Structure 1
Amino acid sequence: MPFTGFSFFELHAATIIKPFECGDTDLNGFLNDKAIPYKKDLLATTYILENENKTIAYLSIYNDALAVQENQFASKTAFKRWIKEILSHRKRHLRQFPAIKIGRLAVCETTKKERKGIGKALVNFVIDLALEQNNKCACQLLTVDAYEKSLGFYEKLGFKFLSENDNGEDTRQMFYDLRPLMNTLNED
Structure 2
Amino acid sequence: MAKRDINEDIVRFSLVNLTDGYRLKDFKCSIIEYQEFLIEHALNFQNMNISRTYLLIDKSSADIVAYMSLVSDSIRLNDTEREEQFPEYIRFGSFPSIKIGKLAVDEGYRDVYRGIGSLMIELARGIDAEVNESVACEFITVDADVENDRHLLDFYLKNSFVLNESYPHGATRKQISMRMNIFNEVDDEAQEETA
Bucket of the pairwise TM-score, normalised by the shorter protein: 0.7 to 0.9
1:162 is aligned to 164
SS at match of 1:167: coil
| CA drift at 1:115 | 0.4
Q: Residues of 2 paired with 1:120 and 1:108: CA distance?
A: 14
1:8 is aligned to 15
Instruction: Provide Cα deviations, 1:27-75, integer angstroms capped at 9, x if missing partner.
Output: 000000010000100011111123316321101101111135xxxxxxx
Structural mapping, 1:8-157, within 5 Å: 8-12=15-19, 14-18=20-24, 19-51=26-58, 52=61, 54-68=63-77, 79-92=78-91, 94-148=92-146, 149=150, 150-157=152-159
SS at match of 1:176: strand
| CA drift at 1:119 | 1.0
SS at match of 1:179: coil
Identical amino acids, percent of aligned pairs = 26
SS at match of 1:91: coil
Q: Which runs of 5+ in 2 are unaligned?
A: 1-5, 186-195
Q: Residues of 1 paired with 2:103 and 2:128: CA distance?
A: 16
Q: TM-score, normalised by structure 2?
A: 0.79
Q: Residues of 1 paired with 2:126 and 2:13: CA distance?
A: 19
Q: Residues of 1 paired with 2:128 and 2:168: CA distance?
A: 28
Q: Residues of 1 paired with 2:21 and 2:84: CA distance?
A: 42
Q: Residues of 1 paired with 2:102 and 2:135: CA distance?
A: 23
The runs of at least 4 consecutive aligned structure 1 residues that moved more than 4 Å come to none
Aligned residues: 169
Q: Which runs of 5+ in 1 are unaligned?
A: 69-78, 182-188
Q: TM-score, normalised by structure 1?
A: 0.82
Q: Residues of 2 paired with 1:158 and 1:6: CA distance?
A: 24
Query: RMSD in angstroms over aligned alpha carbons?
Result: 1.9
| CA drift at 1:22 | 1.3
SS at match of 1:106: strand
Q: Residues of 2 paired with 1:56 and 1:33: CA distance?
A: 18
